[in-house]
Structure 1
């Protein structure tokens, strides 16, 4: 089953990651998010902290490949997500940095709300289809 955002994006998945939504006491969201939420992205090792516009992650069941449809997403559990690099002009920048094992955070308003690690590169280095 396709995630709702997959209905309007023409781009294939760039990479997969394991992601843990932080608990509120860890500075996470007060309300648990839903699949397809729009977050910003930052590399864990960046000093000072820099944020990048990102597309909505698609959390999925790693066994079936089906998108996670339960609402809300579970907090403090490791989830699997498919991710796209949204900004075409930043694609080369992210290609130079993202590898399996890269650590990152999802952010809202400058706050880290989830932590993650890239597990598999899929289409990041493939040419994008032309409209």
Structure 2
């Protein structure tokens, strides 16, 4: 029986490494952020700093939060830290090739998005599997 309070890392589910890593900070509610911090498994979208969302929209890139030792947080019973590092997963391989291969690099600033609302700022700190990960849809995705 599967433990319901334990996260299964995306790397196990998807069969490849994360695309990139970010250092993030959730905005407090007073700055327009969330009332409560999310839990591992949170599915925000991603937007690049400087993009006009009316033209580009947001991108399906989900964070997977790490602990202070850069291990994936497995506990589903506690909120993630208000700031830290996260592995980022581009959900659609075709968009990885068409958009993100040329845009993601260390120092790029983006945001965790809930609709059109920025709830966290994120800076790309490391390229992980971006250039090796699939660029075509896989049968199990």
Tell me which interval the TM-score lies in, with the shorter structure as reference length. 0.7 to 0.9
Corresponding residue for 2:86?
Answer: 81
Question: In the alignment, is residue 72 of structure 1 matched against residue 76 of structure 2?
Answer: no
- From the superposition, tell whether residues 62 and 14 of structure 1 become closer, same or farther in structure 2 (CA, over 3 Å): farther
The reply to whether residue 54 of structure 1 matches residue 29 of structure 2 is: no
1:41 positional shift: 0.5
Alpha-carbon spacing, 1:88–1:31, altered in 2? closer, same or farther (3 Å): same
**Residue in 2 aligned with 1:40?**
45
Partner of 2:129: 123
Corresponding position of 1:4: 8
| Mapped partners of 2:119, 2:8: distance in 1 | 22
What stretches of structure 2 of length at least 5 have no aligned partner? 1-5
Give, in whole Å, the separation in 1 of the partners of 2:118 and 2:43: 13
Counterpart Cα distance in 1 of 2:70 and 2:21: 15
Q: TM-score, normalised by structure 2?
A: 0.78
Q: Rg bigger for which structure?
A: 2
SS at match of 2:96: helix
5+ long unaligned stretches in structure 1? none
What RMSD over aligned residues (CA atoms) do the two structures have, in Å? 2.2
In the aligned structure 1, how far is the partner of 2:74 from the partner of 2:84?
A: 9
